[in-house]
Structure 1
Amino acid sequence: MGNVASFLRNRFVQSILLSGLFLQMGIWIRNFAVLLYVMEKTNNDEVAVSLISVAEFAPIFLFSFIGGTFADRWRPKRTMVWCDFLSAISVFVVLLTLVTGTWQVIFFATLVSAILSQFSQPSGMKLFKIHVPAELLQTGMALYQTMFAMFMIIGPALGTFVYQTYGINVSVGIMGVAFLLSAAALMFLPPDPTEERTAKTSVLDEMKAGVKYVLSKPILRSLCGGFMAAGLGVGIIQPLGVFVVLEQLGQPKEFLQWMLMINGAAMIVGGGLAMGITKKMAPQVMLAIGMAVSGITIAVIGYSTNLYLTLAAQFFSGLVMPMIQISINTMLLTSTEEEYIGRANGILNPLFMGTMVLTMSLAGWLKGMTSLSTAYLVSAVCFLIGVLAVAPLFKLIPVQTAKPEEAS
């Protein structure tokens, strides 16, 4: 626990966690208020609802690498403050438009904040690299992921409560205030270090340099392979969970929410456990264990018809998910030079999202052509392939220590 206490005394950590708290509140209120409002306005129109997902996920493909490149060019604290501030301004513009009666503009709020997050998120990673000692990075990632896991449980309830109690106008207003409070919390971050750019290069040149850098780093190449395998596996099971409830367990579709709650609660527990073992377990070991256990539990869920066995597998699947996220982020930070963090992050994220969306679109077809159990088995195999993809990390990073200088 001394590790966590030392981490929490860091001024950067206090500011970034407070900012993250407000930001997550705004994001989850946005997600569910917009979803429920659009469903109400369109009488549950599938196309309108799918456009919300497009507004959320399309910026990851279109702006992640661009945002990461600019994050490497710009001062990270200033970038994050401006992104949150501009998100708040866009939300208040949407609120004014809503008052005049043009409800379709609600998509704009989701799109703008999703775009700006592609510039803000890699800047946050860069600040972690600058302000958190290397020996506390893994602890920091664990605490950060635990906060995200908590919002996966309370976020939907929070967003639904705010919308159903106060309506869309107040929901949008609260969203804007949350973004402003996030920006205010970031003002307490230590000043950005002053950097002298030795030569002016174009954005395109820096994007090319980022790709070359990632390809030249064996550790980052292995992480790319692991990211793609995990994305393929997650994408298959993402839309099929309701069929496990209906076909394997014989429960009503509403039972899915309890499985998701168990998964979310396990992620919180897993984040806490990860904080306790970061000093004792190297990140590549944590990643391999997390992916292997995920593969096994997914296979069990796909074949099990026993309710309690399925729930146990669901719990263990959630338990190891933070281990995967924490270890990947830790290795990304420790093995990447500061000036390339944004671009490396901007390459890895779309790899995961792209492969996930690809298999999400094929999941229904795969289940129809084979069976639900086979689809889950394919997903499990993807995770086990991911273990093989990250196996070279055991040679590239010494297991007993995972210091940045050894990892590069």
Structure 2
Amino acid sequence: MKQETSFKEFLGNRFVRAILLSGLFLQLGIWVRNFSVLLFVMEQTNEDPFAVSMISVAEFAPIFIFSIIGGTFADRWKPKKTMVWCDILSAISVFAVLLTLIFATWKVVFFAMLISSILSQFSQPSGMKLFKVHVPEKQLQMGMSIYQTMFALFMIIGPVIGTVVFQQYGIEVSIAITGVMFLLSAVALMFLPADKLVEKTDEQTTVLEEFVQGFKYVMKNRFLTILGANFFVAGLAVGLIQPLGIFIVTEQLQMDKEFVQWFMAINGIAMIIGGGIALALSKKVTPIRMLAAGMFVNALMISVIGFSEILWLTLIAQFFTGLMMPAIQISINTMILQNAEESFVGRVNGIMTPLFMGAMVLMMSLAGILKQQVGLGISYQVSAVCMVIGVILVLPLVLDRSIKKRVKVNV
């Protein structure tokens, strides 16, 4: 009964309703864009592994390059205004790509991923900052769980929607729908509570000074430093297999490329279940232990996927990777919010994210080449080994009972 009341209180929060509605529109637009571009590029290049891997690079490279900058500005700018303008500019860029696509080259579709990804690096840390401001600390883990459940739902329906839209209407309509969804997200964000008025102090700092303060803050926090190293190797693991999933379907399982939507749907169903389990265990298991357990199980399952040529076995392994993913993602977001003060949330997020994304983009760039050189199966085993290394890195935090829920650091 207490949990039900807490859930009603959570949904009664004006910020929560607006941010979830915005997330709904964004997820629709992103999945239509991602799958239409994927299938379009595979058609245009005759399923070239390098071209497919470059889609992921176009989507994730800006996260590495702009995340630190975006995190710093998130602590300086008004977060609501930042998020609204980022969605509007994303929509404008998508419509510009659509015009170019109609009258020029098909390769411009990569810019649909690139530009909106850049802008998201200013919007996403602002959203995290607003979570810290408008959601009570006791509801943070619940908030992350519900947000993650919505992402998991789109892991199921997103690929189906994206594939159907592309097959029925083509790339032009798919890109147009993406732009409309970004605009609707901006409208939903208009209903967020107004930004707080911050009193100006006599001591004014530059962007560079605040950027350096963010690094000092993370380096003086042992918890965040070790977590950062874990992020890096996890990024190596995820980046290596991110572009190769479709080849598991077409080469290893000998299925049509369209089957990848069901391959990912299995993962999404598992993520919804895993989100519920993670929420139920959140009061009994610390986030760092959930992270370690999730990465260890994922390492085993990635290894199985890399070896298996049996459909049912691969799908079971795919299910368990999805089951553990909420534990990993909820733990990461919760630990960042719990271990960073409000004035540093944007910068901490902006520093931690590139460690993961930089490694991820690096391995995405090499994934196609590595697959050609050593094969698909070995590529997945390398990813599994990186996951195990990530578990080893956080073991001191898992075993250290003296680590408190939150660590305060003065810069």
Tell me the TM-score range normalised by the shorter chain: 0.7 to 0.9
Residues 1:130 and 2:133 aligned together: yes
Quote the residue 1:188 is aligned against. 191
Query: Which stretches in structure 2 are left out of the alignment for 5+ residues?
Result: none
Quote the residue 1:150 is aligned against. 153
Quote the residue 1:334 is aligned against. 338
CA distance in 1, matches of 2:86, 2:226: 31
CA distance in 2, matches of 1:365, 1:332: 34
1:71 to 1:377, Cα distance in 2 relative to 1, 3 A: same
Deviations along 1:272-306, whole A, 9 cap, x unmatched? 22223223322112112111211222333344565
Pairing of 1:380-399 with structure 2 (within 5 A): 380-394=384-398
CA distance in 2, matches of 1:279, 1:146: 18
Contact 1:4-1:275 at 8 Å conserved across structures: no
Quote the residue 2:284 is aligned against. 280
Larger mean CA deviation between 371-380 and 54-63 belongs to 371-380
1:206 to 1:59, Cα distance in 2 relative to 1, 3 A: same
Contact 1:291-1:324 at 8 Å conserved across structures: yes
CA distance in 1, matches of 2:77, 2:205: 13
Q: 2:163 aligns with which of 160, 168, 171?
A: 160
Pairing of 1:222-241 with structure 2 (within 5 A): 222-241=226-245
Deviations along 1:18-76, whole A, 9 cap, x unmatched? 00001111222222334455566677777766654443222112211111111111011
Structure 2 letter corresponding to 1:296? L
Q: How does the TM-score come out when normalised to structure 2?
A: 0.86
Deviations along 1:321-352, whole A, 9 cap, x unmatched? 11100100000011011122122112222211
Structure 2 letter corresponding to 1:330? T
Contact 1:22-1:179 at 8 Å conserved across structures: yes
SS class of match (2:269)? helix
Contact 2:101-2:108 at 8 Å conserved across structures: yes
Quote the residue 1:11 is aligned against. 14
Quote the residue 2:83 is aligned against. 80
Count of residues in Structure 1 that have an aligned counterpart in Structure 2: 405
Contact 2:159-2:264 at 8 Å conserved across structures: no
Residues 1:216 and 2:220 aligned together: yes
Shift of 1:320: 0.4
Residues 1:379 and 2:370 aligned together: no
SS class of match (1:313)? helix
Quote the residue 1:264 is aligned against. 268
Contact 1:72-1:341 at 8 Å conserved across structures: yes
Shift of 1:377: 3.9
Shift of 1:89: 2.6
Shift of 1:356: 2.4
Deviations along 1:221-270, whole A, 9 cap, x unmatched? 121121112112223434554665678x6644656554333222211221
Q: How does the TM-score come out when normalised to structure 1?
A: 0.86
Structure 2 letter corresponding to 1:340? F
Structure 2 letter corresponding to 1:322? P
State the Cα RMSD in Å. 3.2
Quote the residue 2:328 is aligned against. 324
Contact 1:135-1:403 at 8 Å conserved across structures: no
1:367 to 1:202, Cα distance in 2 relative to 1, 3 A: same
Shift of 1:196: 2.4
Larger mean CA deviation between 226-235 and 169-178 belongs to 169-178
Larger mean CA deviation between 238-247 and 149-158 belongs to 238-247
Query: Which stretches in structure 1 are left out of the alignment for 5+ residues?
Result: none
Contact 1:286-1:324 at 8 Å conserved across structures: yes
Shift of 1:117: 0.5
Shift of 1:155: 1.7
